[in-house]
A and B are shown apart, each in its own frame.
Chain A
Amino acid sequence: KNQVEQSPQSLIILEGKNCTLQCNYTVSPFSNLRWYKQDTGRGPVSLTIMTFSENTKSNGRYTATLDADTKQSSLHITASQLSDSASYICVVHGGSYIPTFGRGTSLIVHP
């Protein structure tokens, strides 16, 4: 069964600190992996998309990594800001039209 597991479920950090969110998946075959940011009361917004051959991709202070061998991805946030408080969702696309979503990591950045 295709699954995407994210950890931690929630995370609280101080402004300016770095953090790393994890995503493990069992989706096969693998097409691509995406990270989305969802602010409260808004729709998810795409941060990064990585295919099988890509190990890392950055979008500003967000850097995603992918290890297709171990089926793990991480999202690293550098120098966190209050506006980074959101839910971060990992989504994996396989060979079908149906994506597999993780349940998200809820990040709270405190001043």
Chain B
Amino acid sequence: DTAVSQTPKYLVTQMGNDKSIKCEQNLGHDTMYWYKQDSKKFLKIMFSYNNKELIINETVPNRFSPKSPDKAHLNLHINSLELGDSAVYFCASSPITQGARGANYGYTFGSGTRLTVV
């Protein structure tokens, strides 16, 4: 199936731990993203990579570090987890960078990773 797949789907961990979420897309898209959806269902962009190059880095604590080994993968590593990090994290991809002229393509989102920090 062509898709954006992220693992794990659920992640429960203790404060202070370090965890990673993996994302892979087989759509041949050039750009990948990480989004955070809070308890009120508000989606906010965190990072965007275009062909392994970081192009968006929103005001996210530096405990969050994205890694893109190739344009089909974008992983998210989180150090020293805090209670406020609990949320659903979505990976997404698009053919070209959103915001670029003519970039009228939708995102394809993964199913999300529900992170619970206890």
Seen from chain A, the residues whose Cβ lies within 8 Å of a Cβ on chain B are: 31-32, 34, 36, 38, 41-46, 49, 51, 87, 89, 93-99, 101, 103-104, 106
Interface residue? B58 (CB, 8 A): yes
CB of A97 within 8 A of CB of B104, answer: no
* Chain A neighbourhood of B99, CB < 8 A: 31, 93-99
Q: How far is the CA of A31 from the CA of B99 in the complex (A)?
A: 7
Q: For residue A36, which residues in chain B have a CB less than 8 angstroms away from its CB?
A: 106
Q: Which residues of B contact A (CB under 8 A)?
A: 4, 40-45, 48, 55-56, 58, 90, 92, 97-100, 103-112
User: With the chains together, A71 CA to B39 CA distance in Å?
Assistant: 28
With A87-B41, A104-B41: A97-B109 Cβ-Cβ less than 8 Å = no
Closest to B55 in A: A97
Q: Which of B44, B56, B106 contacts A34 (CB 8 A)?
A: B106
Q: How far is the CB of B31 from chain A (nearest CB, A)?
A: 9
**Chain A residues in 8 Å Cβ range of B112:** 41-43
**Beyond A41-B112, A104-B41, is A97–B107 a contact (Cβ under 8 Å)?**
no
B97 touches A49 (CB 8 A): no
Given the contacts A49-B104, A93-B98, A98 and B40 also touching, CB distance less than 8 Å: no
Q: Shortest beta-carbon distance, A48 to chain B, in Å?
A: 9
What's the least CB distance linking B81 to chain A, in Å? 22
The one of B97, B100, B107 that contacts A44, using a Cβ cutoff of 8 Å: B107
Chain B residues positioned under 8 Å from A93 (CB to CB)? 98-99, 103
In Å, the complex CA distance between A101 and B55 comes to 19
Residues of chain B with a CB closer than 8 A to A46's CB = 106-108
B109–A103 touching, CB < 8 Å: no
